[in-house]
Structure 1
Amino acid sequence: MSTLELTDVTVSRGAGPVISNVSLTVTAGTITALVGPNGAGKTSLLEAVSGVIAPSSGSITLAGTPLAKVSRVGRARAGVIHIEQGRAVFPSLTVAENLRLTARNTTEVDEALAMFPELEKRRNSPTALLSGGEQQMVVLARSFAARPKFLLIDEMSLGLAPVVFMRLLPLVQRFAEQGVGVLLVEQFTHLALGVADDALVVASGRVSYQGGAQALLDSPELLHRAYLGGEAA
């Protein structure tokens, strides 16, 4: 089974490390929630995985192949797709045209839209006319059209009401059901943990918990201690 593996990864910005010594394995078909306080280094870790920035130490491998010398574009072509913060749509393009930017053919566009009935109805509408939630669906559909092996999602809920975000989470679960490995960074901790198989909590730039997501949901005390930077379980 394909894996995305981080071993002792440290990411630095400016004067020093923002997140240190992270070891993590994301398996195809599973969701790992990466949660923690603001400023804990979660976004920097995703950027290191996708190739936006280089880690200062440690290794990242895809199915056993080191990614250190692979560019961001190369990683995307290999199946590591990064959804960054914000809804990066092309507002003047229609929904279908946005998806064609990553899809290889019309069939892949149709298959991606089939997962999003609300978008199917508006496939020929400019994305500028869509709601914030619908625009985020376009981003997800465009990522799915790229045939990802692993999907890195950074704060999908940014700027959205929790009720809208809750409509998007089942779509992420469907990605995993189709064999995509998902690494999900999210501010709505309990909602993210509710769909995740595994969880990694980072606080003060270090891992304070690593294990099952359900265990954190079942123990508010454990989650609270992890957020305060307690020792990893």
Structure 2
Amino acid sequence: MNALELESVTVSRGAGPVISDVSLRVEPGRITALVGPNGAGKTSLLESVSGIVDASGGRIVVDGEPIGKLSRVQRARRGIVHIEQGRAIFPSLTVQENIRLTAGTQRGVEEALAQFPELEKRRGSASGLLSGGEQQMVVLARAFASKPRYLLIDEMSLGLAPVVFMRLLPMIKQFSESGVGVLLVEQFTHLALGVATDALVVAGGRVTYQGSAADLQASPEVLHHAYLGG
């Protein structure tokens, strides 16, 4: 079965590991929320999947193929798209010019804008003039235009109010509904669990909970213990 799989992955930075022996599985059409306290190693884990950093142990497998020796570009060509922290846009370029960078063709731009109608009316505006929420919509539209198979999203809510981030959640869900596997790292835990099908809590560099997102959301005491590494 097709899936993005991490098998006992360890990621080290500086003196020692920031992630130790983490295993997870992201299937097409499902959203896995990766949550945990600050400094738990969530960003490092995503970076090991997309190739920004090398895993120091374990295996990363995409649809049955180990990708640990592939470059970041090669992983992207296999459908791994990583939305990093911050607003990865070119502020001086218009909305449609930003999307064209990954779409390649005007047809691809139009297909992306059809999925993000709020951007249609701003297509000719410089992206740097958009609100924070609109800029993140541009980031999502660019990701859509690149036709991902697995989408890694790292703290899209950074710098946004929860009510603004809530506008992005249905757009993130669109990816899973179209068959994309999504691995979502998010500081607003309750919002991430609300949109996710599966959940993974990482604390102290290790997995402290793995299972249903709905079950975790319904059990505050389990989430509390998971965050404390219990």
**So what's the TM-score if we normalise by structure 1?**
0.97
Residue by residue, what CA displacement relative to the aligned partner does 1:96-118 show, whole Å, maximum 9, x if unpaired? 00001111322221111111111
Asked if residue 24 in structure 1 is aligned to residue 27 in structure 2, the reply is: no
Q: Which stretches in structure 1 are left out of the alignment for 5+ residues?
A: none
Letter in 2 for 1:76: A
* Distance across 1 between alignment mates of 2:179 and 2:108: 16
* Distance across 2 between alignment mates of 1:128 and 1:195: 28
| TM-superposed deviation, 1:222 | 0.5
Give 1:203's aligned residue: 203
* Distance across 2 between alignment mates of 1:68 and 1:203: 24
Choose 162-171 or 103-112, whichever is displaced more: 103-112
Asked if residue 137 in structure 1 is aligned to residue 137 in structure 2, the reply is: yes
Give 2:98's aligned residue: 98
| TM-superposed deviation, 1:159 | 0.3
SS at match of 2:103: coil
**1:26-175 alignment, distance < 5 Å:** 26-175=26-175
Alpha-carbon RMSD across the aligned residues, in angstroms, is 0.7
Letter in 2 for 1:100: R
| TM-superposed deviation, 1:131 | 0.5
Give 1:183's aligned residue: 183
| TM-superposed deviation, 1:213 | 0.3
Asked if residue 10 in structure 1 is aligned to residue 26 in structure 2, the reply is: no
* Distance across 2 between alignment mates of 1:73 and 1:123: 28
Instruction: Give the aligned length.
Output: 230
Letter in 2 for 1:111: E
Where do 4+ consecutive residues of structure 1 move more than 6 Å? Answer: none
* Distance across 2 between alignment mates of 1:69 and 1:56: 12
Residue by residue, what CA displacement relative to the aligned partner does 1:40-71 show, whole Å, maximum 9, x if unpaired? 00000000000000000000011011101110
Q: Which stretches in structure 2 are left out of the alignment for 5+ residues?
A: none
* Distance across 1 between alignment mates of 2:180 and 2:105: 20
* Distance across 2 between alignment mates of 1:51 and 1:22: 16
Letter in 2 for 1:166: M
* Distance across 1 between alignment mates of 2:33 and 2:124: 34
Give 1:215's aligned residue: 215
Q: Is the alpha carbon distance of 1:2 and 1:107 closer, same or farther for their aligned partners in structure 2, counting shifts above 3 Å?
A: farther
* Distance across 2 between alignment mates of 1:183 and 1:96: 26
Letter in 2 for 1:26: V
**So what's the TM-score if we normalise by structure 2?**
0.99
SS at match of 2:190: helix
Letter in 1 for 2:30: T
| TM-superposed deviation, 1:195 | 0.4
Letter in 2 for 1:138: V
SS at match of 1:55: coil
Residue by residue, what CA displacement relative to the aligned partner does 1:62-96 show, whole Å, maximum 9, x if unpaired? 10111011100111111000000000110110000
| TM-superposed deviation, 1:2 | 2.1
* Distance across 1 between alignment mates of 2:59 and 2:106: 37
Letter in 2 for 1:150: Y
Letter in 2 for 1:190: H
SS at match of 1:101: helix
